[in-house]
Chains A and B, each alone.
Chain A
Amino acid sequence: MDRVQPSGENYANPKTCFFHVLFKAAALAFYILSALFVNSFVIIFVVTVFLAALDFWVVKNVSGRILVGLRWWNEIDDQGESVWKFECLDQESLARMNKKDSWLFWWTLYLTAVCWIFLGIFSLVRFQADYLLVVGVCLSLSIANIVGFTKCRKDAKKQIQQFATKTIASQFTSSLQSAFSVV
């Protein structure tokens, strides 16, 4: 995939974008349409949750990396403490990211969560506790990804600022030093 093409023209990673959307749409579609075709709740549950879990994995491990250059995970350090790590690509690569890709990434992420919330409200209104369970699981997976990536993006921005201030500060001090050394 060439990422050098002018951004905004086309998706730079059509395959990744496709998969990013595929599992989300499949989970939602299956859940909504299954009531028409499938009698068994068990199948609905297992397939929907499986698709949602696959989507979670794809977003977290593949499309997050490729479309927006962000990644988050959890580690347990030597002291047994849980540590959340956030990582992003360096600034120049981030700047080169395709705008359409990241637009798609973020919008579908938020949209899916909203859809699941709506479906949850429906099943709540109809007093279907078991469907609520399905929606609950899928919703928590979506929200997990949203939270993770949003934190990641905030960290990335903070990093840019820190880097910028550090560079400015170091340049400032070095120019000061050179000024004083001349004197």
Chain B
Amino acid sequence: MSYGDTIPLHPSSQSDIDEIENLINAGAHSATVLPARAPSPSRASIPVSHSPFPLPPYQKMPPSSSPTPVVSSVPAAAATTTTAPGGSSRIGISTDALESPPDTLTEPVFDTVKRDLTRIVSNLKLVVFPNPYREDPGRALRDWDLWGPFFFIVFLGLTLSWSASVKKSEVFAVAFAILAAGAIILTLNVLLLGGHIIFFQSLSLLGYCLFPLAVGALVCMLEGNVIIKIVVVSMTLAWSCWAAYPFISTAVNPRRKALALYPVFLMYISVGFFIIAID
């Protein structure tokens, strides 16, 4: 989620002055959220996604003169924040074209929590449920986050472990390890096939696509009949595969689509078997 996107109009066609005007106007309407595009996740100013690693190709640091603070949209919030380090220039508007949105360095904690939670929900909706943006997968999971996948993997592991009558710990550990390692390996697979996908975005995607299987596992835990289990698992499996398909297939060369998709489906199918077979 690039900064420019937090402003209602597309940044590439914006002049600096327009952006500043938009900020002023947006600030007047209050709220911490400036949605950039309709269904996109609440682009509340700045992303606080999480994950580690590599190098920034370029570092867009706030202009050295005034990197701090906060733009109009958080004036009220800034007053209630426990610390507002950028005291003097708290309600300033950065004039840098790329760094104009409100600065989350000084936002209250509750806002951060809310923003992250909203992002998880919107990512889930984007990936798993039908929506117009699925066909443009690059945009759909722009604000990747790993919290959703984390919850789903743990939940799936717990459900499987609960359903197991013996060796509960091993079941959990194995489920967690397989899902986590599987996601990493599948991502590497796509990358090695010459695909254009970002590591964490792909991890995030594969994790979110576990949601249907997690639901299926929950249902199977509560329901003992094998036939019903098989039906439920196949439905949720199909749902998971359908969810994962557009993202993976657009990431690679069309001739290598099958090579990239096959391991993904294989992993989900084996999880499905695991769910059915557990007793």
A and B held together in a complex: yes
Contact digits for A81-108, partner B, Cβ 8 Å, 1 yes 0 no: 1111111111011001100000000000
Asked whether A148 lies within 8 Å of B83 as measured between CB atoms, the reply is no
- CB-contacts of B152-209 with A (<8 A): 154, 157-158, 161, 168-170, 172-173, 176-177, 196, 198-201
Asked if A153 is an interface residue, CB under 8 A from chain B, the answer is: no
Asked whether A12 lies within 8 Å of B83 as measured between CB atoms, the reply is yes
Question: Interface stretch among A26-34, A55-63, A111-119?
Answer: A55-63
- CB-contacts of B68-98 with A (<8 A): 68-69, 82-83, 85-89
Chain B residues whose C-beta falls within 8 Å of the C-beta of A25 in the assembled complex: none
A46 in contact with B154 given A60-B50, A93-B86, A163-B64 (CB within 8 Å): yes
Contact digits for A9-53, partner B, Cβ 8 Å, 1 yes 0 no: 000110110000000000000000000000011100110011001
- CB-contacts of A1-15 with B (<8 A): 1, 3, 12-13, 15
Which of B47, B69, B109, B150 has most A Cβ within 10 Å? B109
Asked whether B53 lies within 8 Å of A147 as measured between CB atoms, the reply is yes
Asked whether B173 lies within 8 Å of A61 as measured between CB atoms, the reply is no
Contact digits for A136-161, partner B, Cβ 8 Å, 1 yes 0 no: 00001001110110000001000110
B205 shortest CB reach to chain A, Å = 12
- On chain A, which size bracket covers the interface? 35 or more
Asked if A162 is an interface residue, CB under 8 A from chain B, the answer is: yes
- Give the CA-CA distance A133 to B178 in the complex, in Å: 12
A73 in contact with B56 given A65-B106, A80-B198 (CB within 8 Å): no
- Give the CA-CA distance A1 to B84 in the complex, in Å: 9
Chain B residues whose C-beta falls within 8 Å of the C-beta of A45 in the assembled complex: 172-173, 176
Asked whether B176 lies within 8 Å of A133 as measured between CB atoms, the reply is yes
A75 in contact with B1 given A84-B56, A155-B59 (CB within 8 Å): yes
Asked whether B57 lies within 8 Å of A90 as measured between CB atoms, the reply is no
- Give the CA-CA distance A150 to B82 in the complex, in Å: 25
Contact digits for B94-108, partner A, Cβ 8 Å, 1 yes 0 no: 000000000111100
Which of B56, B172, B201 has most A Cβ within 10 Å? B56
- Give the CA-CA distance A90 to B136 in the complex, in Å: 38
A54 shortest CB reach to chain B, Å = 11
Chain A residues whose C-beta falls within 8 Å of the C-beta of B69 in the assembled complex: 89
Chain A residues whose C-beta falls within 8 Å of the C-beta of B170 in the assembled complex: 130
Asked if A69 is an interface residue, CB under 8 A from chain B, the answer is: yes
Asked if A181 is an interface residue, CB under 8 A from chain B, the answer is: no
A112 shortest CB reach to chain B, Å = 15
Asked if B58 is an interface residue, CB under 8 A from chain A, the answer is: yes
- Give the CA-CA distance A90 to B89 in the complex, in Å: 10
Chain B residues whose C-beta falls within 8 Å of the C-beta of A77 in the assembled complex: 2
Asked if B67 is an interface residue, CB under 8 A from chain A, the answer is: yes
A97 in contact with B85 given A75-B47, A140-B52 (CB within 8 Å): yes
Taking a contact as CB atoms closer than 8 A, the residue among A15, A82, A89 that contacts B82 in the complex is A15
Asked if A76 is an interface residue, CB under 8 A from chain B, the answer is: yes
- Give the CA-CA distance A144 to B48 in the complex, in Å: 14
Taking a contact as CB atoms closer than 8 A, the residue among B55, B138, B154 that contacts A84 in the complex is B55
4 other contacts beyond A85-B56, A87-B67, with CB at 8 A cut-off? A56-B50, A61-B50, A78-B2, A130-B173
A-B contacts, 21 of them at CB < 8 A, read A66-B83, A66-B85, A73-B46, A75-B3, A76-B143, A76-B144, A80-B196, A80-B198, A81-B198, A82-B199, A83-B57, A84-B53, A84-B59, A85-B56, A90-B65, A90-B86, A93-B87, A96-B85, A130-B169, A140-B52, A159-B61
The 10 A-B pairs with the shortest beta carbon distances in the complex, nearest first, are A144-B52, A41-B169, A163-B64, A84-B56, A93-B85, A130-B173, A42-B172, A82-B198, A90-B68, A61-B112
